[in-house]
């Protein structure tokens, strides 16, 4: 593997038989497989099994509509196969021109007609039929976008705090998010050849960073600007915490090994917070990004995908060993971490004025789903704004959207449009704004319980409880995921609901407001009614006995309802 592979890893697993995913990546000829043949096959709406995995590394997932799956099978029809396509958008910045193009594609060429903002600062189209895939990529390309490496065993869309207010630090941090994304991208020309009809070149493909077999598992990177932890650093394999002095970025504290997924019933899997490795100067950013990725590439478990992410590699080889290897590969050592604090989480809604006198309007988009509803024409509203907006848009890592860089002269026009189309709604409570759900049914093949379609109604009931205890201006960070993979980041919530079966969830309590503590299982496999019955007395106690500004999660710990999770590798299942 890597020439700079300097020390043999402790508890090496490289001798174990590789998983089947390793075979198809290795045999794929740098991600080509036989995707083009499958595109020409009109007998099925899908791809063969290897290709259906390979297209992920080009940013697509093969799915079907689970609401109508049984009916189709009964009619002896193939499930209604279509693809989800996820765009690459480092730092979540998109221009009005790009927005108009993606909006038109979503309306005219997708089964569901929506644009779905994700928890990783980008957007997805759901429901593209195989025959329309190429035009989707060509359209993205025509406006300077692509979907390379937004899925599969590669470094995914790189997050960056969506804080346009402190323009200078944000601008620099955003540029690093972009550079890291570019640096770690697959270098194969497969995407260009297959989707953009690019010429085959004589030169051989090479993947100096990712290897011809790509990474053992997905890899996630974030750049965060304290005090705002809007990207949830502990969900990422690698985070760069921006350290600024006198308004200028001087370097980053590097955090490694966060991740939130687990599998019900498998105690070798667990959510894990990242470890702080130390401070690096700005000039060493790419060196360290590459060193962490290649260490995980060479030391990650290629035999068992359930234990393949960086968080498990750290636990297996030891944090100090992993860190030393990174230093050896980077050729420089970490310096002691610089102090920083997180005192804000999530998005700051409404208008904010930046240091450069430009205005920024953060809109709450419930569960990130932009669609025209009978009462609220959200998607049309965004188009009307995009037609006149002179700045840009920023997607947040909480499925929301910022209309950024608005000159004072355009504020009123934009705000009026947002109100007219329901993009600003004064009746939305803080509770709703601090709640989040993953996609789940009908498109997610792994969903066990509803999430996106369940949350809005659940919050209505939850709001009634808050009102009953004079807490209507308060909020509790509440997140729902349809299965334990954790796409809605319930494992960093004060109340986390994790789907177990239709209508049944595991209830987790005790995360903190800043996203620095993992919650603990409190009740297992309970119905929605039982969730409400369990939560109501706890909320009542919180209303009566909390300290000033004490969040619900902290109160759950102080009042000994749950014990805090300190080191999830050893105490998450206690």
Q: Give 279's strand partners.
A: 253, 335
Report the 10 Å Cβ neighbour count for 374: 5
> Binding partner of residue 483 among ligand SRM, ligand SF4, none, CB under 5 to 8 Å per kind?
ligand SF4
The yes-or-no answer on residue 218 being catalytic is yes
Angle between helix axes 310-317 and 285-299 (nearest 10 degrees) is 70
255 binds ligand SF4 (CB under 6 A): no
Catalytic site residue from 116, 130, 217, 220: 220
The yes-or-no answer on residue 156 being catalytic is yes
3-state secondary structure of 14: coil
Tell me which of 163, 285, 481, 568 binds ligand SF4, using CB under 6 A: 481
**Site pattern 141..170 for ligand SF4 (x: CB under 6 A):** ------------------------------
**Residue placing its CB nearer to ligand SF4 in the complex, 401 or 483:** 483
The yes-or-no answer on residue 160 being catalytic is no
Smallest separation (angstroms) from ligand SRM to the CB of 147:
10
**Residue placing its CB nearer to ligand SF4 in the complex, 378 or 451:** 451
Closest of 172, 207, 168 to residue 187, by C-alpha:
207
Closest of 18, 9, 30, 87 to residue 210, by C-alpha:
30
Residues engaged in binding ligand SRM (CB under 6 A): 61, 63, 84, 86, 118-120, 122, 124, 150, 156-157, 218, 220, 232, 235, 259-261, 309, 368, 399, 438-439, 443-446, 485-489
Half-sphere exposure of 112 (CA within 13 A, CB side): 24
**Residue placing its CB nearer to ligand SF4 in the complex, 56 or 316:** 56
446 binds ligand SF4 (CB under 6 A): yes
Question: Based on the number of CB atoms within 10 Å of its own CB, is 201 exposed (0-12), middle (13-18) or buried (19 or more)?
Answer: exposed
> Where does this chain touch ligand SF4 (CB under 6 A) — which range of 164-172, 392-400, 466-474, 476-484?
476-484
Compute the Cα dihedral for 525, 531, 533, 534 and give only its sign.
positive
**Residue placing its CB nearer to ligand SF4 in the complex, 237 or 474:** 237
Tell me which of 161, 485, 506, 568 binds ligand SF4, using CB under 6 A: 485
127 binds ligand SF4 (CB under 6 A): no
Contacts of 570 (CB under 8 A, 6+ apart): none
Write down the H helix ranges in 20-132. 20-26, 35-40, 49-54, 69-74, 96-109
Give whole-number Cα distances, 514 to 342, 522, 552, in Å.
Answer: 6, 20, 12
> Binding partner of residue 120 among ligand SF4, ligand SRM, none, CB under 5 to 8 Å per kind?
ligand SRM
Show which residues are catalytic.
86, 156, 218, 220, 438, 444, 483, 487
Name the site residues for ligand SF4 (rule: CB under 6 A): 438-440, 444, 446-447, 451, 481-483, 485-487
């Amino acid at each position: 593997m890597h020439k700079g592979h300097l020390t043999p890893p402790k508890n090496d697993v490289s001798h174990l038989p590789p998983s089947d995913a390793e075979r198809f990546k290795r045999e794929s000829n740098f991600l080509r497989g036989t995707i083009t043949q499958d595109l020409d096959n009109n007998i099925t709406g899908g791809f063969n099994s290897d290709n259906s995995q390979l297209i992920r590394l080009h940013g697509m997932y093969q799915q079907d509509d689970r609401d109508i799956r049984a009916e189709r099978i009964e009619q002896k029809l193939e499930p209604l196969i279509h693809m989800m396509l996820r765009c690459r958008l480092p730092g979540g910045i998109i221009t009005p021109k790009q927005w108009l193009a993606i909006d038109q594609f979503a309306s005219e060429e997708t089964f569901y007609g929506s644009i779905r903002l994700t928890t990783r600062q980008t957007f997805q189209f759901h429901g593209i039929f195989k025959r329309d895939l190429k035009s989707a990529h060509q359209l993205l390309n025509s406006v300077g976008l692509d979907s390379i490496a937004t899925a599969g065993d590669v470094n995914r869309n790189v997050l960056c705090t969506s804080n346009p207010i402190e323009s200078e630090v944000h601008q620099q941090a955003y540029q690093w998010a972009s550079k890291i994304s570019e640096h770690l991208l697959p270098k194969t020309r497969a995407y260009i050849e297959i989707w953009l009809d690019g010429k085959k070149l004589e030169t051989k493909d090479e993947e100096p960073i990712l290897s011809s077999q790509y990474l053992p598992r997905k890899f996630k990177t974030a750049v965060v600007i304290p005090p705002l932890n809007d990207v949830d650093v502990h969900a990422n394999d690698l985070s760069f915490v921006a350290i600024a002095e006198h308004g200028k970025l001087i370097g980053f504290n590097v955090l490694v090994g966060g991740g939130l997924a687990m599998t019900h019933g498998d105690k070798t899997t667990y959510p894990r917070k990242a470890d702080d490795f130390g401070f690096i100067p700005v000039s060493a950013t790419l060196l360290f990004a590459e060193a962490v990725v290649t260490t995980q590439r060479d030391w990650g478990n290629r035999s068992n995908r359930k234990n393949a992410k960086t968080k498990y590699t750290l636990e297996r080889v030891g944090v100090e060993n992993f860190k030393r290897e990174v230093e050896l590969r980077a050729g420089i050592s970490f310096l002691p971490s610089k102090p920083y604090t997180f005192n804000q989480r999530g998005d700051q809604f409404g208008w904010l004025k930046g240091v450069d006198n430009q205005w920024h309007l953060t809109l709450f988009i419930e569960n990130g789903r932009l669609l025209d509803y009978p009462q609220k024409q959200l998607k049309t509203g965004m188009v009307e704004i995009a037609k006149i907006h002179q700045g840009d848009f920023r997607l947040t890592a909480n499925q929301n959207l910022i209309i950024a860089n608005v000159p004072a002269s355009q504020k009123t026009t934009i705000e009026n449009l947002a109100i007219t189309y329901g993009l600003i709604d004064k009746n939305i409570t803080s509770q709703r704004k601090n709640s989040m759900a993953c996609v789940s049914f009908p498109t997610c093949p792994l969903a066990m319980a509803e999430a996106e379609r369940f949350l809005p109604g659940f919050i209505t009931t939850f709001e009634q409880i808050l009102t009953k205890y004079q807490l209507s201006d308060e909020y509790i960070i509440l997140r729902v995921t349809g299965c334990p993979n954790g796409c809605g980041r319930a494992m960093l919530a004060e109340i986390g609901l994790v789907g177990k079966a239709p209508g049944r969830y595991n209830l987790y309590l005790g995360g903190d407001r800043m996203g620095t503590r993992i919650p603990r299982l409190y009740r297992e496999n309970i119905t929605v009614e039982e969730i409400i019955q369990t939560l109501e007395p706890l909320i009542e106690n919180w209303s009566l006995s909390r300290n000033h500004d004490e969040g619900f999660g902290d109160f759950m710990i102080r009042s000994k309802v749950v014990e805090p999770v300190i080191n999830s590798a050893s105490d998450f299942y206690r």
